[in-house]
Amino acid sequence: MPTPHNSAKQGDIAKTVLMPGDPLRAKYIAETYLENVTCFNTVRNMLGFTGTYNGTEVSVMGGGMGMPSIGIYSYELYKFYGVENIIRIGSAGGLSDDVHLRDLVIAMGACTNSNFAHQYNLPGTFAPIADFELLRKAVEIAEQKGVKANVGNVLSSDTFYTDDVNENDRWKRMQVLCVEMEAAALYMNAALLNKKALCMLTISDHLYTREELSAEERQTSFHEMMEVALELA
């Protein structure tokens, strides 16, 4: 049944959902890659679509910015709509010298400065990680397509603008590849609900070289990541 944030009915959403942060990127993917597309959600303009890709049913829906937002949307998809796999396809800021503009990063783990895990009242620190089968398959698909995939730790940050001018240096020293804002919450929801999740990112800017893509380029140019995710679905 519909939730406060999703007007879809049972059966409207596929078992696998691709989840960019930007709902306009979801619209772009649906219009560019999917056939027989239907729109299942417009609540708060968080657009969601279901269609087929090479005969396989797949959905794509925006997840918003930050862990509270993707935390709500991914929880509802897993808990109330029977979704089994969510593949986040987002943008990230490069930290490592080994990643460059437009590179693909696959998040094996997601460090975080968020307090999202506090709700579980765990007797220690939880380490959010990707589903191994999705991760392995994504790497294999990338290799088949000749796409270099950087696999490792990312940072899911609660802050885009930080008052700590040395924060990035400390994460970089720990071999964190890049920073984004959602993967840790997605991975925690998947763990809690015994579902599967993977986060794939395209480097849209680099925090040390200062290179960056425009907003329009972020919305429409992440084709390699989109195609790997669609094959994974």
- The domain that holds 47 is classified in CATH as 3.40.50.1580
41's tokens: 């959600």
Phi, psi for 92 (deg, rounded to 5): -150, 155
| Average pLDDT of span 197-205 | 97
Is there a domain that residue 2 lies in?
A: no
**Amino acid sitting at position 178:** C
Is there a domain that residue 47 lies in?
A: yes
Phi, psi for 169 (deg, rounded to 5): -60, -40
β-bridge mates for residue 87, sequence order: 18, 198
Is there a domain that residue 206 lies in?
A: yes
SS3 175: coil
Is there a domain that residue 11 lies in?
A: no
SS3 36: strand
d(CA 230, CA 232): 5
Q: What is the CA radius of gyration of the chain?
A: 17
Is there a domain that residue 21 lies in?
A: yes
SS3 30: helix
Hey, which residues are catalytic here?
Answer: 205
pLDDT bucket at 2, cuts 50 / 70 / 90: confident
pLDDT digits (tens, 9 = 90+) for 129-188: 999 999 999 999 999 999 999 999 999 999 999 999 999 999 999 999 999 999 999 999
pLDDT at position 46 is 98
- Does position 12 have pLDDT exceeding 90, yes or no? yes
Is there a domain that residue 168 lies in?
A: yes
Residue 56's contacts (CB-CB under 8 Å, 6 or more residues apart) are: 233
| Average pLDDT of span 111-127 | 98
Number of domains in the chain: 1
- % of the chain residues with pLDDT over 70: 98
Is there a domain that residue 6 lies in?
A: no
- Does position 108 have pLDDT exceeding 90, yes or no? yes
Residue 82 lies in domain: 16-232
| Average pLDDT of span 1-14 | 93
Tokens 């425009």 correspond to what residue? 214
Buried b (16+ CB within 10 A) or exposed e, 15-53: ebbbbbbbbbbbbbbbeebbeebebbbeeeebbbbbbeb
